[in-house]
Amino acid sequence: MAAGVLYGLSFYTYTAARFTPVVLALFGVYAWTVKPQVRNTQYAIRLGLVILVTMATVAPLAAYTVLHPDVVLGRPGQVSIFSPAINGGDLWGALGRSTLRTLGMFFVRGDRIWRHNVPWRPVFDPLLGAAFVVGAVVALRRARRDLACGFAVIWTAVMVLPTLLAEDAPHFLRAAGVLPVMAFLPALGADWIAGFVSRRAGRSLFSVGQRLAVSLFIAFGLVSTVRAYFGEYARDPMTGYWFEDGAVVLAGRINRFLGQGWNGGVGDQRGGGARVYVDPVLWEEWPQIRFLAAVPEAIEVGLEPAAGLRSPFSSVAVFAWPYGNWQSAWALLPAPARITVEQGPLSQGDRDPAPYTTYVAFLATPPDMVTPPLAHFSGGVEWLGAEVTPTNDGRLRVRLRWRATAPLVEDYTVFLHYLRDGERIAQADSRPASGFYPTTRWRPGDVINDDHFIAGAGAPQPGRDTLLFGFWQPESGARLYLLDEAGNPAGDWIEVAVE
């Protein structure tokens, strides 16, 4: 009964489980043929009980399949090599190529998908691959008298079919059903090789030779596997893309803004209520956001303010899809506010030609109205400070803090030069917040955290490095002027030391 329940539940997991009845049917015929001992009533009763309990466990899924065949059975038809869209009208050619690639997955070349394994790495390293071949031969030779070996051969042969008969072979997820039993084959091979070495070395060295042979297989596999998984694969950005790191970062950023849940820590919002708006594209594309969000009642899906009104919350975060109508986020931000715009990490799906920015976040919290300005520009712009922070990718983040005292009717670009010993060594000109919060959107009282990223400057060197920055329009050449205490123009840029 326990076997029937557990086996029945396996059908609710990955679709490769649907091939297991074929395995068991073939094994039953094989066992009946080579092992007369199984031909008795006791075995029949136990087998019948397993079948009945399995059928009862699978019954809900079976009923759902009858009512919704497109849901349960649709995916196999989409990826089957029997589909002309997959085989291109050459079924036998596609089948032959798929067979060769599937056989090669054990010790030649594996899956290309980073989410399934180190790309192109076969299931076994060279030594274990050799042991796998030897073990397969040993199992075939013993199958006539050993049911366990027969079962291993039948299981392995049948459970590779989900990847062999589908596109993108070898596909390790579709081949996952073969793994539990397939692991016995290199063990059989290593055992046979160890015995062979011991016999050739002589009885006095039997124990030593056997242990050395087996230890070599295990040690080589251990070292090669650790290097493969915890070396370049762990550090490569593509690994993060395939495991959808961008969506996980987004969920953590939502929680951190609200100050609750995983990666929440101390929230960004200060006082009053807080609200998070998430673009429907992001919410629907990545279910892990819905799973990890700790305060779903504080999250609204959509970028349209209720009844066309600005959000009544004092702290608001808007997470928008940067390739859609992200400008809708502006109408949701409270006024005035301290505005910070963040671009999320890169993401890339298995069919995307290049990485893309996962999201753009507009974070609005109560503004700083008491810090005195360090400088005034014409047009109603105050400069409150600058911070230089190294980033993990070797760049420098320069955060310029501005405060608006009047609306700006023109769209200005910030020019930013990084100087060392008076010589310009890097430059990062851009519209404020990389163009996501232009000066035409600044409202009186807004404090803008304006981030610029400088590459090639190396580590900051206080005493030698300075920042030079100001506002201008590339098209017309117009600039905002720096004002003196009397309100008269005193230049068009500021130069400050990097601390």
What's the pLDDT at 269? Answer: 46
Sign of the CA dihedral with 211 first, then 212, 214, and 215 last: positive
What lies within 8 Å, CB to CB, of 70 at 6+ separation is none
Chain centroid, CA 302 distance in Å = 24
| Segment among 240-249, 301-310, 394-403 with least mean pLDDT | 301-310
On whether the CB atoms of residues 16 and 162 are closer than 8 A, the answer is: yes
Same structural domain, 28 and 104 = yes
Residue 173 main-chain phi, psi, to 5 deg: -70, -45
| CATH number of 475's domain | 2.60.40
Cβ–Cβ contacts within 10 Å for residue 54, how many? 22
Residue 317 within any structural domain of the chain: yes
What's the pLDDT at 41? Answer: 80
Taking CA 19 as the corner, what is the angle to CA 68 and CA 97, rounded to the nearest 5 degrees? 105
Nearest CA among 232, 239, 245 for reference residue 114: 239
On whether the CB atoms of residues 411 and 440 are closer than 8 A, the answer is: yes
Is the pLDDT at 270 greater than 50? The verdict is no
Which residue type does 89 have? G
Residue recorded with tokens 């232009």: 438
Tell me the two tokens of residue 426.
């890097």
Between 387 and 202, the higher pLDDT residue: 387
What's the pLDDT at 272? Answer: 45
Round the average pLDDT of the chain to a whole number and report it.
88
Same structural domain, 112 and 9 = yes
Tell me the two tokens of residue 324.
């859609």
Per residue in 371-393, pLDDT (tens digit) is 899 999 999 999 999 999 998 88
Query: At which of 234, 261, 276 does a domain end?
Result: 234
Is the pLDDT at 36 greater than 90? The verdict is no
Tell me the two tokens of residue 160.
């590779």
Which residue type does 459 have? A
Tell me the two tokens of residue 332.
């949701």
Same structural domain, 229 and 255 = no
**CA-CA distances (angstroms) from residue 115 to 105, 229, 491, 498?**
16, 12, 55, 43
Residue 205 within any structural domain of the chain: yes
381-406 burial, b if ≥16 CB within 10 A, otherwise e?
bbbbebebeeeeeebbebebbbbbee
- Any bridge partners for residue 405, and if so which? none
Is the pLDDT at 312 greater than 70? The verdict is no
| Segment among 61-65, 263-267, 425-429 with least mean pLDDT | 263-267
Same structural domain, 104 and 251 = no
List the domain range (segments joined by +) for residue 24.
2-234
Residue 83 main-chain phi, psi, to 5 deg: -75, 130
What's the pLDDT at 287? Answer: 92
Is the pLDDT at 424 greater than 90? The verdict is yes
Residue 370 within any structural domain of the chain: no
pTM: 0.77
Residue 186 within any structural domain of the chain: yes
Same structural domain, 327 and 418 = no
Pick left, alpha or beta for residue 392 (phi over 0 → left; psi -120 to 50 → alpha; otherwise beta): alpha
Same structural domain, 254 and 388 = no
What lies within 8 Å, CB to CB, of 271 at 6+ separation is 314, 315, 366
Same structural domain, 181 and 315 = no
Query: At which of 234, 265, 282 does a domain end?
Result: 234
Residue 341 — pLDDT band, cuts 50, 70, 90? very high
Same structural domain, 347 and 445 = no
Per residue in 216-230, pLDDT (tens digit) is 878 888 898 999 999
On whether the CB atoms of residues 56 and 3 are closer than 8 A, the answer is: no
Is the pLDDT at 296 greater than 50? The verdict is yes
Same structural domain, 223 and 257 = no
Per residue in 454-466, pLDDT (tens digit) is 998 888 999 999 9
Same structural domain, 41 and 131 = yes
Span 251-263, mean pLDDT?
A: 88
Q: Is the peptide bond before 336 cis (omega within 30 degrees of 0)?
A: yes
Between 351 and 311, the higher pLDDT residue: 351
Nearest CA among 161, 140, 169, 137 for reference residue 23: 161
Number of domains in the chain: 3
DSSP-derived secondary structure letter, 179: H
Chain centroid, CA 457 distance in Å = 31
Residue 239 within any structural domain of the chain: no
On whether the CB atoms of residues 346 and 241 are closer than 8 A, the answer is: yes
Edge-first strand order for the sheet with 465-472 is: 423-427, 413-420, 465-472, 494-497
Same structural domain, 135 and 167 = yes
Alpha helices in 11-40 (DSSP H): 20-34
Q: Which of 197-211, 248-262, 307-321, 431-445 tops mean pLDDT?
A: 431-445
Query: At which of 200, 234, 268 does a domain end?
Result: 234
Is the pLDDT at 367 greater than 50? The verdict is yes
| Segment among 140-154, 191-205, 273-287 with least mean pLDDT | 191-205
Between 473 and 42, the higher pLDDT residue: 473
Which residue type does 110 have? G
What lies within 8 Å, CB to CB, of 474 at 6+ separation is 413
Name the helix (H) or strand (E) containing 206: helix 206-230
Tell me the two tokens of residue 351.
């069919």
Residue 470 main-chain phi, psi, to 5 deg: 180, -170
What's the pLDDT at 208? Answer: 67
What's the pLDDT at 475? Answer: 87
Same structural domain, 290 and 328 = yes
Give the three-class secondary structure for 261: coil
Residue 240 within any structural domain of the chain: no
| Share above pLDDT 70 across residues of the chain, in percent, rounded to a whole number | 94
What's the pLDDT at 203? Answer: 56
Is the pLDDT at 268 greater than 60? The verdict is no
Q: Is the peptide bond before 170 cis (omega within 30 degrees of 0)?
A: yes
What's the pLDDT at 202? Answer: 59
Residue 333 within any structural domain of the chain: yes
| Segment among 28-42, 50-64, 241-255, 299-313 with least mean pLDDT | 299-313
Which residue type does 330 have? W
On whether the CB atoms of residues 366 and 339 are closer than 8 A, the answer is: no
Residue 489 within any structural domain of the chain: yes
Per residue in 94-129, pLDDT (tens digit) is 899 999 999 999 989 999 888 899 999 999 988 888
CA-to-CA distance for 151 and 366, rounded, in angstroms?
68
CA-to-CA distance for 367 and 340, rounded, in angstroms?
11
Per residue in 434-451, pLDDT (tens digit) is 999 999 999 999 999 999
